[in-house]
């Protein structure tokens, strides 16, 4: 098995091979193009997912991409490998935050529309001199969600 030793926050002590490195060191076989067993493929996939999750966590906590890349290089990855992994994960993290932002935006718009409908409905029922409700809570919550959602959707970070 062609792996380099590494230690990375509790991730296995073996560094998983990446992309062309994996293909260039292995012989063809029927289960995935390498000379390793399906169990070893599964273990490498788990190690790779753990590593990518660690990178995503570091970026989520406000880690600078170059600092995360430097950390990966200290763990034995080449500069090119580290930069590719950080770029891939950071674009995925940004896309995820943009999705969350859009969801917040629509949720906020829904609150505002619901507030308008309830306010107009109670106003029409009170047209003959009764009382009506103004749903300020829905307007405030909706506005907060809209602003927060716009910020996340545009910036793509927390």
List pLDDT tens digits, range 78-89.
888 888 888 888
List pLDDT tens digits, range 38-50.
788 788 888 888 8
State the Cα–Cα distance between residues 54 and 11, nearest whole angstrom: 9
Confidence bin at 36 (pLDDT 50/70/90) = low
Confidence bin at 158 (pLDDT 50/70/90) = low
State the Cα–Cα distance between residues 109 and 158, nearest whole angstrom: 20
Percent of the chain at pLDDT > 70 equals: 76
In this prediction the pTM is 0.60
State the Cα–Cα distance between residues 46 and 56, nearest whole angstrom: 15
Q: Is 31 exposed, middle or buried (0-12, 13-18, 19+ CB in 10 A)?
A: exposed
Q: Is 4 helix (H, G, I), strand (E, B) or coil?
A: strand
Q: Is 14 helix (H, G, I), strand (E, B) or coil?
A: strand
In the predicted model, is pLDDT for residue 147 greater than 90? yes
In the predicted model, is pLDDT for residue 75 greater than 60? yes
Q: For residue 123, what are its two tokens? A: 């106003």
Say what the alpha-carbon torsion angle 38, 43, 45, 51 is, to the nearest 10 degrees: -170
List pLDDT tens digits, range 114-137.
999 999 999 999 988 889 999 999
What is the structure's pLDDT at 149? 94
Confidence bin at 5 (pLDDT 50/70/90) = very low
């Amino acid at each position: 098995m062609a792996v380099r030793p590494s230690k990375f926050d509790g991730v296995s002590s073996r560094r998983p091979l990446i992309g062309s490195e994996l293909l260039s060191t292995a012989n063809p076989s029927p289960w995935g193009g390498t000379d390793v067993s399906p169990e070893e493929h599964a273990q490498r996939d788990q190690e790779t997912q753990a590593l990518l999750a660690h990178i995503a966590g570091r970026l989520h906590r406000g880690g600078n991409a170059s600092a995360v890349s430097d950390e990966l290089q200290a763990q034995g990855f080449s500069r090119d490998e580290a930069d590719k992994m950080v770029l891939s994960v950071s674009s995925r993290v940004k896309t995820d935050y943009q999705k969350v932002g859009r969801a917040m935006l629509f949720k906020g718009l829904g609150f505002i529309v619901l507030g308008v409908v309830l306010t107009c409905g109670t106003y029409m029922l009170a047209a003959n001199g009764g009382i009506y409700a103004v749903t300020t809570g829905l307007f405030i919550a909706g506005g907060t969600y809209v602003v927060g959602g716009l910020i996340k959707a545009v910036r793509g970070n927390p």
